[in-house]
Chain A
Amino acid sequence: MSIWEYANPKKFMQTSAVVLPFVAGLAGLCLLVGLVWGFFLTPDDYKQGSTVKIIYLHVPAAMMAINAWVMMLVTSLIWLVRRHHVSALAAKAAAPVGLTFTVIALVTGAIWGQPMWGTWWAWDPRLTSFLILTLFYLGYIALWAAIEDPDTAADLTAVLCLVGSVFALLSRYAVLFWNQGLHQGASLSMDKKENVADVFWLPLLVCIAGFVLLFVALVLVRTRTEIRARRLSALLARERLA
Chain B
Amino acid sequence: MLALLTRDLRLAFRAGGGFGLGLAFFLLVAVLVPLGVGPEGAVLARIAPGILWVGALLACLLSLDRLFALDVEDGSLDLLATAPMPLEVVVALKALAHWLVTGLPLTLAAPVLGLLLFLPEAGYPWLVAALALGTPALSVIGAFGAALTVGVKRGGLLLSLLVLPLYVPTLIFGAEAVKRGAAALDGTTPLVLMAGITLGAVALLPFAAAAAIRINLR
Contacts and interface: CB of A to CB of B under 8 A. Distances in A.
A177 B164 CA distance: 19
Interface string B143-156: 01000110110010
Interface residues of B, number: 27
Contact of B169 (A159, A160, A174): A174
B183 to A, nearest CB: 15
B193 interface: yes
Interface stretch (A138-146, A180-188, A201-209): A138-146
Given A138-B161, A146-B152, A174-B173, A156 B212 contact: yes
A163 B208 contact: yes
Contacts of B162: 139, 142-143, 160
A135 B164 CA distance: 9
B218 interface: yes
Contacts of B158: 142-143, 146
A174 B215 contact: no
Given A160-B162, A162-B208, A177-B190, A167 B168 contact: yes
A164 B166 contact: yes
B148 A156 contact: yes
Contacts of A175: 168, 172
A174 B148 contact: no
Interface in B148-193: 148-149, 151-152, 155, 158, 161-162, 164-166, 168-169, 172-173, 176, 190, 193
A143 B165 contact: no
Contact of A163 (B166, B172, B173): B166
A132 B168 contact: yes
B168 A156 contact: no
Contacts of A19: none
A69 to B, nearest CB: 12
Contacts of B161: 135, 138-139, 142
Interface of B: 144, 148-149, 151-152, 155, 158, 161-162, 164-166, 168-169, 172-173, 176, 190, 193, 197, 205, 208, 211-212, 215-216, 218
Contacts of B176: 177-178
Nearest to B152: A146
Given A146-B155, A174-B172, 18 more contacts: A135-B165, A139-B161, A146-B152, A146-B158, A147-B152, A152-B215, A155-B215, A156-B212, A156-B216, A159-B212, A159-B215, A160-B148, A162-B208, A163-B205, A168-B165, A174-B169, A175-B168, A175-B172
Nearest to B211: A159
A229 interface: no
B32 to A, nearest CB: 23
30 contacts: A132-B165, A132-B168, A135-B161, A136-B165, A138-B161, A139-B162, A142-B158, A142-B161, A143-B162, A146-B152, A146-B155, A147-B151, A152-B215, A152-B218, A156-B212, A159-B208, A159-B211, A159-B215, A163-B144, A163-B166, A163-B205, A164-B166, A167-B168, A167-B169, A173-B169, A174-B172, A174-B173, A175-B172, A178-B172, A178-B176
Query: Which 7 A-B pairs give the minimum distances between C-beta atoms?
Result: A174-B169, A174-B172, A135-B165, A170-B169, A171-B168, A155-B215, A139-B162
Nearest to B215: A155
A173 B176 CA distance: 14
